[in-house]
Amino acid sequence: MDLHELSIQQAHELLSSRKVSSEELTRAYLERIRRLDPQIKSYVTVSEELALKQAKEADQRIKTGEGLTPLTGIPYSAKDSISTRGINTTCSSKILENYKPFYDATAIKKLNSSNSVLLGKNNMDEFGMGSSTENSGFFTTRNPWNFDYVPGGSSGGSAAAVAAGLTPFSLGEDTGGSVRMPASFCGVTGLKTTYGRVSRYGLIPLVSSFDTIGPMARSVYDVALVLETIAGHDAKDSTSRLEPVENYSEILKTTENLRGLRIGIPKEYFVEGLDSAVDFSVRDAIKHIESLGAEVIEVSLPHTQYAIPVYYLILFAEASSNLAKYDGIRFGLSERSVESLMDVYLKTRETGFGAETKRRIMLGTFALSAGYYDAYYLKAQKVRTLIRQDFQKAFETCDALITPVAPATAFRIGEKITNPLDMYLSDVFVVAVNLAGIPALSVPCGISNGLPIGMQIMGPHLSEETLLRIGHLYQSQTDWHTKHPPL
């Protein structure tokens, strides 16, 4: 087996028995990135110097054998909206093209404490706005399974890098599906964490009330290893949860069946327009999960049809406010070769932001303006509560819900980019989860015409353990997650 095919668990065994060094492993990934990434374009920045330095430090630690964790010496990458000290953090926006944070996000800090090795930063839709990575201010990432197709978005660079063997795992950000959708399109496993389970400190915000950081990797077990490292309360993020972090990977080792679990199938997610191959694969996976001992029942989430308009309204509003600070004076790019202060603002934002970002800022500013606030933003917040209550009600009768991640497999590059509404609609199955703040896991469950299909397993707040158990047991009996794109 090649080094880039190892799971975190397998790599850890080789590292701790000193059959392979972190430096060798890191060099193997850097070499593969050099060879394949010019075509896939999953990285915005490769932090080679830092990676080799961290790998050598990890090897030192492995030599002494002190305080080793399963992630010691393991390379990884992170979405470019997650702050990394001294390493460009651009959100794939021209406005932050040269921004080097002077601190690490808490999630990165925790990985540093494990002596994990940062390979670089992954491409994304600008500030996380998009479902295809075509909205990156720099370039479009390609789906490693077929270069004519999108990798999904907005964490498309992260998903493509994991799928192509250009990193064992990546940290993504999910505000409205950005971990799950690209995971599904690229055939990798991705977890959208409960709001507040992982500190948002150092995550450049898109929508502060939706944003979450979550791991993307090649198996549920690997996702569990990353989650138990990065999760937990953080004094620097007042919205982070106080509950102790479970030892997820240990729990998975002892899970033998799913007896006693009740799984709901929301009927609103299996409707006309759902691609038949996706429908077939997800239903087949549900049957499999039933055979592992779970009971399957039909449930209803009656306000599902409002999820897209409510999500986008709140997003426009909060994003327009979060992005106001990029004004040419306080943060980022500054266009100074102009006549007046007003022109600094105008020129900076005109050249710094892409078309989709500008569209959302304008719509959000409108939705928050006097006279419209009640009609749009306030109304959307009320319907958000109804959607959250739908989930609460469903979780009174079941432990988890299973749905497709997306209505179809990856679409072609260029297919939806000129029609924003069409692009927004591809998020139809993922955004309700963010409105409710609950966790959801995306697990590969099929392939159609050479492109991966994913199922989504959702649960109540802080039910990560249940979701991981279901996904892990499914993966221990199926091999969809082990399939690689033909590179």
Site for ligand GLN in 314-333 (CB under 6 A): 315
For the bound state, the minimum distance from the C-beta of residue 77 to ligand GLN, rounded and expressed in Å, comes to 17
The amino acid sitting at 36 is L
For the bound state, the minimum distance from the C-beta of residue 220 to ligand GLN, rounded and expressed in Å, comes to 21
CA distances in angstroms from 173 to 321, 357, 441, 475, listed in the order given: 19, 17, 13, 23
- 7 versus 136: smaller Cβ distance to ligand GLN: 136
What are the two backbone dihedrals, phi and then psi, of residue 382, each rounded to the nearest 5 degrees?
A: -70, -45
Report which residue's Cβ sits closest to ligand GLN: 178
The CA distance from 198 to 67, in Å, is 22
Let me know if 199 is a catalytic residue: no
For the bound state, the minimum distance from the C-beta of residue 174 to ligand GLN, rounded and expressed in Å, comes to 5
User: For the chain, percent helix, then strand, then coil, each to nearest 5?
Assistant: 45, 15, 40
* Burial label, 74 (beta-carbon count in 10 A; 0-12, 13-18, 19+): buried
- Binding segment (CB under 6 A) for ligand GLN, from list 171-179, 385-393, 400-408, 436-444: 171-179
- 54 versus 434: smaller Cβ distance to ligand GLN: 434
Between β-strands 117-122 and 43-46, what pairing exists: parallel, antiparallel or unpaired? antiparallel
Query: Does 174 sit near ligand GLN (CB under 6 A)?
Result: yes
- Binding segment (CB under 6 A) for ligand GLN, from list 24-32, 123-131, 216-224, 333-341: 123-131
Q: Given candidates 178, 229, 357, 403, which one binds ligand GLN under the rule CB under 6 A?
A: 178
The CA distance from 248 to 221, in Å, is 9
Contact present, 189 and 222 (Cβ < 8 Å): yes
231: left (phi over 0), alpha (psi -120 to 50) or beta: beta
Let me know if 178 is a catalytic residue: yes
The CA distance from 487 to 147, in Å, is 10
Q: Given candidates 82, 87, 108, 129, which one binds ligand GLN under the rule CB under 6 A?
A: 129
- Binding segment (CB under 6 A) for ligand GLN, from list 126-134, 259-267, 287-295, 329-337: 126-134
Query: Does 452 sit near ligand GLN (CB under 6 A)?
Result: no
- 128 versus 460: smaller Cβ distance to ligand GLN: 128
The amino acid sitting at 308 is I
Query: Does 92 sit near ligand GLN (CB under 6 A)?
Result: no
Contact present, 354 and 323 (Cβ < 8 Å): no
Q: How many CA atoms lie within 13 A of 274 on its CB side?
A: 22
Structure tokens at 169: 């795992």
The CA distance from 97 to 78, in Å, is 16
- The alpha-carbon radius of gyration of the chain (Å, integer) is 21
For the bound state, the minimum distance from the C-beta of residue 331 to ligand GLN, rounded and expressed in Å, comes to 19
Of 116, 154, 281, 426, which is the active-site residue? Answer: 154
The amino acid sitting at 432 is A
Query: Does 130 sit near ligand GLN (CB under 6 A)?
Result: yes
Let me know if 81 is a catalytic residue: no
- Binding segment (CB under 6 A) for ligand GLN, from list 175-183, 262-270, 466-474, 476-484: 175-183
Give the interface size with ligand GLN as a residue count (CB under 6 A): 14
The CA distance from 233 to 238, in Å, is 9
Q: Given candidates 44, 74, 206, 394, which one binds ligand GLN under the rule CB under 6 A?
A: 206
* x/- letters, 140..169, toward ligand GLN (CB under 6 A): --------------x---------------
- 206 versus 402: smaller Cβ distance to ligand GLN: 206
Q: Given candidates 101, 128, 404, 459, which one binds ligand GLN under the rule CB under 6 A?
A: 128
Give the residue carrying structure tokens 């679409």: 411
Contact present, 177 and 437 (Cβ < 8 Å): no
For the bound state, the minimum distance from the C-beta of residue 320 to ligand GLN, rounded and expressed in Å, comes to 13
Structure tokens at 27: 């060099």
The amino acid sitting at 98 is N
Site for ligand GLN in 277-316 (CB under 6 A): 315
- 125 versus 399: smaller Cβ distance to ligand GLN: 125
CB atoms within 10 A of CB 210: 22
* Helix (H), strand (E) at residue 284: helix 276-291
Site for ligand GLN in 219-248 (CB under 6 A): none
- Binding segment (CB under 6 A) for ligand GLN, from list 96-104, 124-132, 263-271, 385-393: 124-132
Q: Given candidates 77, 123, 131, 143, which one binds ligand GLN under the rule CB under 6 A?
A: 131
In the complex, the residues that contact ligand GLN under the rule CB under 6 A are 128-131, 154, 173-178, 206, 315, 427
Give me the active site residues, please. Answer: 79, 154, 178
